[in-house]
């Protein structure tokens, strides 16, 4: 049973297109996250939702729009894709926002913008 799943695993698209990445967790967690990992493996948080409410919104271009239809899902929509958006995007979840909770990561979505 996959705890945190993401689709698609690979996404190749052209500049200017709009694409979405979906994330689902079956752990019953309240909190979900999106991270971006660049080509040098540097990992940075983008967004976090707690009980479907946005609680972390880092300095991410507003071409990126997260949506949480329910606690188990957090999707990421990206408009007008740019070359610099190429990266691996990880979804994660944690039980809640109480101190030092473990975050469970999905397998990642490798986005390549040509």
Partner 1 sequence: GNSVTQMEGPVTLSEEAFLTINCTYTATGYPSLFWYVQYPGEGLQLLLKATKADDKGSNKGFEATYRKETTSFHLEKGSVQVSDSAVYFCALSDHTGFQKLVFGTGTRLLVSP
Residues in Cβ contact with 33 at an 8 Å cutoff, skipping those fewer than 6 apart: 45, 46, 47, 48, 49, 56, 74, 91, 92, 93, 94, 103
Q: Tokens 């071409």 correspond to what residue?
A: 63
User: Are the beta carbons of 75 and 23 closer than 8 angstroms?
Assistant: yes
CB of 110 to partner 1, least distance (A): 10
Question: Among residue numbers 39 through 78, which ones bind partner 1 (CB under 8 A)?
Answer: 40-45, 48, 50, 55-56
User: Are the beta carbons of 91 and 105 closer than 8 angstroms?
Assistant: yes
Of 83 and 100, which has the nearer Cβ to partner 1?
100
Residues in Cβ contact with 8 at an 8 Å cutoff, skipping those fewer than 6 apart: 21, 109
Any contact of residue 105 with partner 1 (CB under 8 A)? yes
Of 14 and 28, which has the nearer Cβ to partner 1?
28
Any contact of residue 102 with partner 1 (CB under 8 A)? yes
Of 7 and 17, which has the nearer Cβ to partner 1?
7
**Can you tell me which of 101, 111, 112, 114 binds partner 1, judged by CB under 8 A?**
101
Residues binding partner 1 (CB under 8 A): 4, 31, 40-45, 48, 50, 55-56, 90, 92, 94, 97, 99-103, 105-108
């Amino acid at each position: 049973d996959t705890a945190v799943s993401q689709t698609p695993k690979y996404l190749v698209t052209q500049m200017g297109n709009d694409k979405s990445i979906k994330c689902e967790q079956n752990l019953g967690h309240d909190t979900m996250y999106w991270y971006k990992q660049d080509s040098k493996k540097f990992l940075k948080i983008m967004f976090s939702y707690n009980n479907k409410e946005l609680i972390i919104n880092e300095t991410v271009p507003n071409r990126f729009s997260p949506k949480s239809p329910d606690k188990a899902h957090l999707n990421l929509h990206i408009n007008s894709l740019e070359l610099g958006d190429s990266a691996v995007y990880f979804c994660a979840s944690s039980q809640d926002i109480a101190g030092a909770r473990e975050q469970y990561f999905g397998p990642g979505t490798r986005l390549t913008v040509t």
